[in-house]
Amino acid sequence: MIEPCVVQLPYPEDSAELFDRISAEPWSVFLDSGQPKSHFGFSRYDIMSAFPWATITCHGPITRIEQNGHRVETRDDPFEVLRGLIPHSQYRFPNLPFLGGAIGYFGYDLCRRIENLPSLAIDAEQIPDMAIGIYDWAVVIDHETRSAKAILHGQDPGTVNRWPHILEKLHSPASSRINPFRTTSAVASNMDSESYASAFRKIKHYINEGDCYQVNLAQRFCARAEGDGFNAYRKLRSLNTAPFCAYLHLPQLEVLSSSPERLLKVRDRQVETKPIKGTRPRSPNPVLDEDSARILAESQKDRAENLMIVDLLRNDLNKNCLPGSVKVPLLFGIESFVNVHHLVSTVTGTLASGKDALHLLRGCFPGGSITGAPKHRAMQIIEELEPHRRGVYCGAIGYIDYNGDMDTSIAIRTLTYSRGVIRCFAGGGIVSDSTLEEEYQETLIKARAMLTLLSESGSGNGIHPPS
């Protein structure tokens, strides 16, 4: 192993222009703060990489590790498998959140390795429940200091040998790919208004019977499509700029995400989660927009729903945090995004001795804000009432560094593109005083940017590479 090597790169105003040089590579990954259009206070860094030296994919009970041309399959817990594959390093550099490690997604259906759930929903995508690459290099763009650095950690000899080629690609002209993205069919939902209403009534029945307090119900939209998914991603990030955008170009699918919600962050063993519960649409009229945010802030229903999930997450964090360290420094804050206002709380803690980021992630997975309460019963009801498995949706996207730091988003406002079909979900939490029309409309409000992307990408009006 060599000491990490840091190479200064020209600062890109738009990191997507730099990532375009490697976006066509298998397992290329882009964790994107949405700059230059993002105005969120915690959107500082973009991280990109490709050419992982190992990959881990999970299909049901089988976890597959591919490394140096060799493939191994195991039935061991995938979180334990991943922990055993990430090397440990003490290297840290100021203002560099990632020096090498794991990047990818943990799909919602990975919960079946944690919880005993029935298998009722249709698995239409047939994609991995988890897809993670282990990367020994990355580019980190810091939008606060307006700097860009390419970092080679030096854990993997193969990546060290490839480093000159990687630097050459990063300094090469932008990709000349001209394959536009277009949808080739109408967008269809897996729930019409009647079937959504039927599922809504069943959840209300379960709540009234004392079975649960809240259930997140989602509908899925899909269309046939063709062309370059990265072009679609660039359009998505312009329609719905968010602090946790991501594009993953994986062998079996492309993931296009513009999530507003952090699942878990670990930095120097300090833990943070920021659950979202409560949504109102934004208005171009400043007075109406301010009224919408105020109504959300004062909504007793949304505050009660948010508090329910805060309590669930406090319990989840306490599984792996020091006793007494779990706090709620902010309750019912308003965060405003491009299309919506959200009610957001912040829960913090400190990892207990002998616990790490993967213990924490497993103990909180999937995030309580997108399941319901109590979590296990809510997931059983989701499996019963949603026609299709969620796949990546409502799982987690992010990184775990060699030094044990982690940052992950919840995969909402997220599309997956595989085998000529592009899919996205949108949902909301249903509680005792929810009304059918408001909850149904909330799913459409949350899906607005994604549906706009698909409608504007229709045949003859596809999304082309930026000129």
DSSP 328-382: EEEEEEEEE-SSEEEEEEEEEEEBPTT--HHHHHHHHPSPGGGTEESHHHHHHHH
The candidate with the shortest Cα–Cα distance to 124, out of 456, 423, 457, 466, is: 423
Verify whether residue 169 is a known catalytic residue: no
pLDDT computed for residue 173 by the predictor: 81
Considering the candidates 125, 254, 261, 442, report the single residue annotated as catalytic: 261
State the pLDDT at residue 175. 65
Distances (CA, A) of 386 to 195, 258, 355, 376: 10, 23, 34, 15
Radius of gyration of the chain (CA): 21
As beta bridge partners, residue 220 has: 425
Task: Report how far residue 98's alpha carbon sits from residue 102's, in angstroms, rounded to the nearest whole number.
Answer: 10
Query: Alpha-carbon distance 465 to 231, whole Å?
Result: 6
Query: What is the pTM for the complete model shown?
Result: 0.95
What tokens were used for 446? 């949350």
Helix axes 375-385, 193-208, angle to 10 degrees: 150
What is d(CA 212, CA 414) in angstroms, rounded to the nearest whole number? 27
> What's the CA gap between 272 and 346, in Å, rounded?
7
Calpha distance 431→370 (Å, rounded): 13
**Rounded-to-10 torsion of CA 303, 304, 310, 313:** -140
Please count the CA atoms within 13 angstroms of the CA of 453 that sit on its side-chain side: 31
Q: Does CATH number 2.40.110.20 belong to domain 5-456? A: no
Phi (first) and psi of residue 229, to 5 degrees: -65, -25
Series of mean pLDDT values for 10-residue runs along the chain (467 residues): 86 93 94 72 86 97 94 97 92 87 98 94 97 98 94 94 95 76 95 96 97 96 96 94 96 96 96 93 93 94 92 96 97 91 96 98 95 96 98 98 96 97 97 94 94 86 59
The CA-CA-CA angle for residues 38, 277, 247, to 5°, reads 40
Paired strand residues for 281: 340
- The whole-angstrom separation of Cα 154 and Cα 246 is 25
Query: Which pLDDT does position 467 carry in this prediction?
Result: 43
User: Known catalytic residue: 204?
Assistant: no
Axis-axis angle for helices 78-85, 357-364 (nearest 10): 160
pLDDT of residue 290: 94
**389: enclosing H helix or E strand:** none
- Among candidate residues 277, 335, 375, 383, the one labeled active-site is 277
Separation CA 394–CA 398 (nearest Å): 13
- Range 215-227 burial, b when 16+ CB lie within 10 A, else e: bbbbbbbbbbbbb
Angstrom distance (rounded) from CA 114 to CA 48: 30
Domain ranges of the chain: 5-456
How far apart CA 174 and CA 414 sit, in angstroms, is 26
Q: Output the pLDDT for position 461.
A: 65
Q: Where are the alpha helices (DSSP H) in 193-257?
A: 193-208, 229-239
How far apart CA 39 and CA 8 sit, in angstroms, is 25
Helix (H, G, I), strand (E, B) or coil at 67: strand
CA–CA dist 195, 37 (Å, integer): 38
- pLDDT at 287 (0 to 100): 94
